[in-house]
Amino acid sequence: MPEFRDRLDEAMRIRGMTAAELARTSKVNEGAISQYRAGKYKASQRSLDKLARALQVSIPWLMGADVPMEESDSQRSTSLPSNVQPMPTMQQIPRIGMIACGDPLLAQQNIEGYDNVPEYVKCDFTLVCRGDSMINARIFDGDIVCIREQPAVENGEIAAVLIDSEEATLKRVKIFDDHIVLEPENPMYKPLVFWGEEMNNVRILGKATHFISALK
């Protein structure tokens, strides 16, 4: 029985689509598509649905079943019961771990996995919050924070920041003419202050836009 990655490659070949074209059409991250084709990750149901729609194939066929490649008209016209509401369309967003010095932010070696995030959330990557330094902003240990990549933020906004090319951290950013202050949201921690040339050691990766709580 063919595997999902085999059928994905076959469908892309038949439709004449590159990974980049499929990513644009399906709204599934190109890096995730590469991982699927390599057999390293299993696609979520939402990703399967989006890939199948973009490639105009049936999900059972895409999963390797011995069925026709394309859905029949009756399958496409099936509607949900009136008491069932669809979940928001999800997208797979890369989760960034350690940032290698000099590498592009979304370089493959910086990506440690993917998070399912509602499609209406406009972000480029996620980080997992570690520790309790941002608890007064209701961001707790283990929460997944969605970041929109941008090199600058407004004073007082919470951002993902890289310090001395080390692991990214989440802090409230305040920028002055001669220094930068990275403020925690917990009085138990002191602000980090960078003066003069030390300001060059601080790199803003992007603005925090949403978070997914780890609390159940």
What ranges do the domains of the chain cover? 4-68, 102-212
From first to last of its 216 residues, the chain has per-residue pLDDT tens of 678 899 999 999 999 999 999 998 898 988 889 888 988 877 887 788 889 889 999 888 888 888 888 866 555 545 556 566 667 778 889 998 754 444 456 555 578 889 988 888 889 999 888 888 899 988 888 888 999 999 999 999 999 998 887 667 889 999 999 999 999 999 999 999 999 999 998 999 999 999 888 765
Q: What span, in angstroms and rounded, lies between the C-alpha atoms of 172 and 62?
A: 45
| Per-residue 3-state assignment (H helix, E strand, C coil) for 34-48 | HHHHCCCCCCCHHHH
Given 26, 47, 50, 171, which residue is catalytic?
Answer: 171
Q: Which CATH class is domain 4-68?
A: mainly alpha
pTM for this one? 0.59
Given 26, 50, 133, 207, which residue is catalytic?
Answer: 133
| Per-residue 3-state assignment (H helix, E strand, C coil) for the chain | CCCHHHHHHHHHHHHCCCHHHHHHHHCCCHHHHHHHHCCCCCCCHHHHHHHHHHHCCCHHHHCCCCCCCCCCHHHHCCCCCCCCCCCCCEEEEEEECCCCCCCCCCCHHHEEEEEEEECCCCCCEEEECCCCCCHHHCCCCCCEEEEEECCCCCCCCEEEEEECCCCCEEEEEEECCCEEEEECCCCCCCCEEEEHHHHHHEEEEEEEEEEECCCC
Q: What span, in angstroms and rounded, lies between the C-alpha atoms of 128 and 43?
A: 21
133 tagged catalytic: yes
Q: What span, in angstroms and rounded, lies between the C-alpha atoms of 179 and 176?
A: 5
CATH number of 102-212: 2.10.109.10
Quick one: which of 186, 110, 178 has its CA closest to 147? Answer: 110
72 tagged catalytic: no
Phi, psi at residue 148, to the nearest 5°? -95, 120
